[in-house]
Amino acid sequence: MLTFFDPRQPLSRRAFLQVGALGLGGLSLPGLLRARAGTSGTGGLVKDRSVIFLFLHGGPSQIETFDPKMTAPEGIRSVTGEVATRLPGVTFGSTFRRLAGLADRLAVVRSYQSGDGNHDIKPVVHRDALGANLGSIYARVAGTNHPGTGMVRNVALFPRSVDPQARPAQTQFGNFLATGPLGLAYAPFDPSGGGPLLENMRLHVGRDRLEDRRGLLAQLDAFRREVDQSGTTEAMDRFQQQAFDTVVRGVGEAFDLRREDPRVLARYDTAPLVNPDHVSRRNNRPYYLDNARTLGKLLLLARRLCEAGCGFVTVTTNFVWDMHADVNNAPVAEAMPFVGGPLDHALAAFLEDTRARGLEDKILLVATGEMGRTPRVNRGGGRDHWGNLTPLLVCGGGLRMGQVIGQSSRDGGTPASQPLTRRHLIATVMHSLLDPGQVRLRRDLAGDVSRVITEGEPIQQLLG
């Protein structure tokens, strides 16, 4: 815990040790640095690349997103129509007009199937990957902190990470922070309002001092001088000293969107796209509004973290992609403008921003959900759960963009070409981050960890 008390109170050894025990992702900061030291000699094993895994919670429709099937009969084809893309003969659902103009910089997979129609978080956490967040498996190999910047390697971003007033992340469908057998040392760092950043990095100073940045920095300097004079650091091991130095030098600035160029922040902002008066009055309405307010900022924060050395960022929307047309969920035609619209805008802003910053080949973004939607619209105008075909979009990461991979059946319900599965997706992610050949040589890795990274076959069309 990092706690700064009122300056009128004396500094105690106990207070300083709270700094040394700054918790990140279930492990103290000194412990994280020890873990980092244990994996510092990774050589060419860890690639200079990051992954942002955008999980579209609830199950987006493959038809209204990137496979509109406009030649199919009414009741199957996209209820929102289609829009032509930059790729000849390829169309997207009409909600995705900005992405259509950037289709040469992304790849859409039309033959991906998640495997079942259950609400869960299986693309990110599944028994195929030891029941651990994919970022935790990466951190087990790469180390928990970047050796150069000290940035945490594995982060999970929820809507509250950028808006403390957002609804809490829904946990009944799975734990995004799960580590399976790897242990809490490798859990994603959760900087949301309900996570360890608030509890472990709370600054106990008056509101006037928090609003006065110069005063706060002066207090930090005085705090450090007092610690040095007390000789407390002499009783600490080198990892505790590193922890203290890491806190004081401000690695956490990457998490502060207020430090971003206001013009860039405005380009990502998805809140103005959705008029609250036009959003469905169904029970999920608060989540729809939270999604619009936070999605663009979440992707911007993810970019900032990757730029600072984070290797894997899980970004999850609220539970907004369920489209049964019932008391909780709006029908497809009603929902897509205020769910798909922010996604279109945020992804387009991300593509433009990463190219401008020279990060396009260094960050791989994956966007998918836990399932797709039924080929046929139900009587209420919704689509129900469907695991036989799931939308999947990828962009960047130095992979081959500007293509549609695979084909679906005429009704958009099953793959009409080789099915691509969750294991293909996991392999693509892991091969983007790590050198499988080097992983096989690591004797300190459990066989199950090595297997998850090395045994799958990546999506070959992306590698060509």
Q: What pLDDT, in 10s, does the model give residues 263-318?
A: 999 999 999 999 999 999 999 999 999 999 999 999 999 999 999 999 999 999 88
| Segments forming the whole domain that contains residue 175 | 46-190+252-463
pLDDT of residue 14: 45
- State the residue for tokens 């100073």: 205
Flag whether pLDDT at 25 surpasses 70.
no
pLDDT band at 229; cut points 50, 70, 90: low
Higher pLDDT, 222 or 82: 82
Handedness of CA 454, 455, 461, 464 (dihedral sign): positive
Counted domains in the chain: 1
Regarding beta strands 403-405 and 107-109, do their DSSP bridges make them parallel or antiparallel, or are they unpaired?
Answer: parallel
Q: Which residues pair with 46 in a beta bridge?
A: 434
Question: Would you say residue 343 lies in a domain?
Answer: yes
Rg of the Cα atoms in the chain: 23
Question: Would you say residue 67 lies in a domain?
Answer: yes
Percent of the chain with pLDDT over 90: 70
DSSP 327: S
CATH number at residue 72: 3.40.720
Helix (H) or strand (E) holding 93: strand 91-93
pLDDT of residue 147: 85
Mean pLDDT (the chain, rounded): 85
How many Å apart are CA 200 and CA 1, to the nearest integer? 4
Question: Would you say residue 325 lies in a domain?
Answer: yes
pTM of the entire predicted model: 0.84
Least confident window among 40-49, 76-85, 156-165, 268-277? 40-49
Q: Are 336 and 58 in contact (CB under 8 A)?
A: no
Question: Would you say residue 39 lies in a domain?
Answer: no
CA 290 to chain centre: 16
Higher pLDDT, 420 or 251: 420
Question: Would you say residue 89 lies in a domain?
Answer: yes
Tokens representing 370 are: 């836990």
Question: At 358, which amino acid appears?
Answer: G
pLDDT of residue 152: 86
pLDDT of residue 411: 96
3-state percent helix, strand, coil for the chain, nearest multiple of 5:
40, 15, 45
Question: Would you say residue 247 lies in a domain?
Answer: no
Question: Would you say residue 274 lies in a domain?
Answer: yes
How many Å apart are CA 236 and CA 134, to the nearest integer? 34
HSE-up of 26 (CA within 13 Å, CB side)? 15
Question: Would you say residue 342 lies in a domain?
Answer: yes
Least confident window among 42-56, 59-73, 284-298? 42-56
String of DSSP letters for 242-275: HHHHHHHHTGGGGG-GGGS-HHHHHHH--GGGS-
| Those residues with Cβ within 8 angstroms of residue 314's Cβ, 6 or more apart along the chain or in another chain | 53, 55, 124, 133, 134, 135, 155, 156, 157, 176, 188
Strands of the sheet containing 312-316, edge to edge, are 154-157, 312-316, 50-55, 363-368, 392-396, 107-109, 403-405
Buried b (16+ CB within 10 A) or exposed e, 222-235: ebeeebeeeebeee
